[in-house]
Amino acid sequence: MAVKDYIRQRFFPHIWCPGCGHGIVLNALLRAIDQLGMSKNEIVMVSGIGCSSRISGYVDFHTLHTLHGRALAFATGVKMSMPELNVIVPMGDGDALAIGGNHFIHAARRNIAMTAIIMNNRIYGMTGGQYSPLSGYGTRATTAPYLNIDHDFDIAEMAMAAGASFVARTTTYHVRQMADILKEAILHEGFSVVEILSQCPTYFGRKNKMGSAADMMEMFKKNTTPIGSEAKKENPDLIERGIFVQKDVPEYCSEYDKLIENAMKGQ
């Protein structure tokens, strides 16, 4: 199937700003799905609110564009009612970790099979560049004109601590790795978290004088390193990318089926 058959061409041009990293995520996601040979009809995409969440309008799967922060809660209902479907939940950093933070840790704890993609551009783009829980200490935003004093989360560490059975990180610079990780994440039987560092040249980049979109992507190249690399030992500030966790843990929907089966024994 050609990649363009997975998109709703009538919804284009998309709303993302020139240079936004989210289009690269859409591209890699479609390539991953194409390489897996999945049918459009077996995929449900559930998104919340924000620039990243608009991705659900552009793909020709079953799509639900839901409330801010609640995508994983809606997706849990979808998955429990039709466990045979592949559920993909694209979110932004504010959507997933601020207003939706509680849903995020509990979906991870349950280990329900779905793929949570967090496009981390470290800002609320859609509402005009307010700082998010991922902006980080010492950054600038429209609500932090004199530097932000809030510390950020480490999404991967938090996902692991909350119990996610697949956790990975990549960037919009590393497009091939992104597609490969997304394939693994979609195939994984359990809650998969893929953090993708994505550039927002319009707000985060401009407020923090990070140059053009290409400059920001160069920084993703320069400031990241494969998990466990020698470079990381020499420079602990480098951000690791790759698959942190990929383990077999009983999945929620199948455990539920087993529970019913056991309870019904002898009847």
Partner 1 sequence: MREVLEGSHAVSEAVRLAKVQVMSAYPITPQTHIVEALSEFCEDGTMDARFICVESEHSAMAAVVGASTCGVRTFTATSSHGLALMHEMLHWASAARLPIVMAEVNRALGPGWNIWMDQTDSLAQRDTGWIQLYCENGQDVLDTTLQAFRLAEMVNLPVMVVLDAFFLSHTYEDIDVPDQKAVDRFLPPLSPRIQLSTQNPCAIGQMSPPAFYTENRHSIQAAMEQVQGRFENIQEEFEPVFGRKYAPLEAIECEDADVIMVMAGTAASTCREVISDLRSQGEKVGLLKLKMFRPFPTMLIRKILGDTQKVAVVDRNFSFGVSGIFAQEIKAALCNHDNHPPVFGYIAGLGGRDVTPDILKQVYHMTKTASFPKEDGVWIDLNN
For partner 1, the binding residue among 85, 99, 160, 219 (CB under 8 A) is 99
The Cα-based distances of 140 to 171, 201, 203, 211 in angstroms read: 21, 13, 9, 14
Q: Which of 31, 45, 69, 104 binds partner 1 (CB under 8 A)?
A: 69
Whose Cβ is closer to partner 1: residue 92's or residue 242's?
92
CB of 65 to partner 1, least distance (A): 7
Crossing angle (nearest 10°) for helices 252-264 and 71-81: 40
Site membership for partner 1, residue 68 (CB under 8 A): yes
* Nearest distance from C-beta of residue 162 to partner 1, angstroms: 16
Nearer to partner 1, 150 or 240 (CB): 150
DSSP 95: I
- In this structure, are residues 86 and 80 in contact, taking their beta carbons and an 8 Å threshold? no
Answer for which of 27, 143, 223, 246 binds partner 1 (CB under 8 A) is 143
b/e per residue 18-43 (b: at least 16 CB within 10 A):
ebbbbbbbbebbbbbbeeeebeeeeb
Interacting residues of 228 by C-beta distance below 8 A, sequence separation 6+: 240
Q: Is 127 in the site for partner 1 (CB under 8 A)?
A: yes
Task: Enumerate binding residues for partner 1 (CB under 8 A).
Answer: 49, 65-69, 94, 98-99, 101, 124, 126-128, 130-131, 133, 142-146, 150
